């Protein structure tokens, strides 16, 4: 598993150890520990959850159950830029699906996945309410309309 550069990984591991230390012996500490771990890593890597389970002496399956039960927790890293491609009716008619395929191909990731370099996360959305500009997508707070697969590389270039 890649948790960033070695040095970075060390800093994070130290921060996690410090959190675990601070909560040592506290009852019911799992959720606050997961919250702080997510702040350190940006998400909850499997190894981190395993480490937490080991330290708290609770089953790994329970840690995983808790991490997937609550919507606050992310089990995959989210990218620095969030792309949301509209899959509403208007966009669908105007090639929203092809657009999604094009982005997916350009980045080498599927829906709800993140590029290995952490640059983009690809998500879909039911309707962005800009049907007149279909097909549309948003990158972070910016809306792009009247898109075509050819235009994608140039736009992604900007991020």
Partner 1 sequence: MQDLKEWRETLQQQSHRGDRPSLTVGMSTCGQAAGGAKVMAALEEEIARRGLQVDISQTSCIGMCYAEPIVEVALPGKPRVFYGDVTPERVPTLVEKHVLQGEPVREWALIQLSGEATPYEGIPVMPGSTYYGRQVRVVTSRLGLTNPESLEEYIATGGYEALEKVLGQMTPEQVIEEIKISGLRGRGGAGFPTGLKWSFTRQAPGDKKYVVCNADEGDPGAFMDRSVLEGDPFSVIEGMTIAAYAIGADEGYIYCRAEYPLAIKRLKMAIAAAGEKGLLGRDILGTGFNFDLHIKAGAGAFVCGEETALLASIEGRQGMPRVRPPFPAQQGLWGKPTNINNVETYANVPFIIKNGGQWFASMGTEKSKGTKVFCLTGKIKKTGLIEVPMGITLREIIFDIAGGIQDDKQFKAVQIGGPSGGCLPEDKLDLPVDYESLTAAGAIMGSGGMVVMDENTCMVDVARFFLNFTQAESCGKCTPCREGTKRMLEILTRICEGEGRMEDLDTLETLARVVKNTALCGLGQTCPNPILSTLQYFRHEYEAHIKDKRCPAHVCQALLVYTIDAGKCTGCGACARACPAGAISGEKKQPHRIDPALCIKCGSCMEKCKFGAISRL
Partner 2 sequence: MADVTLTIDGKRITVPAGTTVLQAARDNGIFIPTLCHDPKLTPWGGCRLCVVEIEGMRGLPASCVTTVAEGMVVQTASPQVVEARKMMLELLLANHPRDCLTCSKSGACSLQDYAYYYGVRGDKFHGEKHDYPLEDDNPFIVRDMNKCILCGKCIRVCAEVQVNNVIDFAHRGFNTRVTPAMDLTLRESEECVFCGNCVQVCPVGALAEKASLWQGREWELTKVRTTCTFCGVGCNLEVSVKDDHVVRVRGYDNPLVNSGWLCVKGRFGADFAESPDRITRPLIRVGERGEGRFREATWDEALDYTARRLQEIKEQYGSRAIAALSSARCTNEENYLMQKFMRAVIGTNNVDHCART
HSE (CB half, 13 Å, CA atoms) of 32?
A: 10
76 binds partner 2 (CB under 8 A): no
**Helix axis angle, 46-56 relative to 60-69, nearest 10°?**
120
Q: Which is nearer to partner 2, 49 or 102 (CB)?
A: 49
Distance between CA atoms of residues 16 and 3, nearest Å: 13
Collect all residues with Cβ–Cβ distance below 8 Å to 7 and sequence separation of at least 6: none
Q: How far is the CB of 49 from partner 2 (least distance, A)?
A: 7
Q: How far is the CB of 145 from partner 1 (least distance, A)?
A: 10
The answer on whether 131 is annotated among ligand-binding residues is: yes
Q: Contact positions toward partner 1, by CB under 8 A?
A: 27-32, 34-35, 58, 62, 65-66, 69-73, 88-91, 93-94, 131-132, 134
With tokens 């039911």, the residue in question is 126
For residue 139, the minimal CB distance to partner 2 (Å) is 28
Instruction: Find out whether 130 and 86 touch, Cβ atoms under 8 Å.
Output: yes
- Helices 6-22, 30-41: axis angle to 10 degrees equals 160
**From the list partner 2, partner 1, none, partner contacted by residue 49 (C-beta under 5 to 8 A by kind):** partner 2
- Give the residue with the Cβ less far from partner 1, 31 or 106: 31
- When the beta carbons of 90 and 103 are compared against partner 1, the nearer one is 90
Contact call for residues 70 and 43 (beta carbons, < 8 A) = no
Residues found near partner 2 in the complex (CB under 8 A)? 46, 49-50, 53, 59-65, 68-69
Which residues make up each annotated binding site? 86, 91, 127, 131
């Amino acid at each position: 598993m890649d948790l960033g550069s070695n040095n970075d990984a060390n800093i994070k591991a130290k921060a996690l150890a410090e959190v675990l230390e601070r909560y040592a012996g506290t009852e019911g500490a799992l959720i606050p520990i997961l919250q702080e771990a997510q702040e350190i890593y940006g998400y909850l890597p499997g190894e981190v959850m395993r480490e937490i389970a080991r330290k708290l002496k609770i089953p790994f399956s329970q840690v995983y159950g808790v991490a997937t039960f609550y919507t606050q927790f992310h089990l995959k890293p989210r990218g620095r830029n969030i792309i949301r491609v509209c899959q509403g009716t208007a966009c669908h008619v105007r090639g929203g699906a092809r657009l999604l395929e094009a982005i997916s191909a350009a980045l080498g990731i599927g829906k709800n996945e993140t590029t290995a370099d952490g640059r983009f996360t690809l998500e879909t959305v039911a309707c962005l309410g800009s049907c007149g500009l279909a097909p549309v997508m948003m990158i972070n707070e910016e809306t792009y309309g009247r898109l075509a697969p050819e235009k994608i590389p140039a736009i992604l270039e900007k991020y």
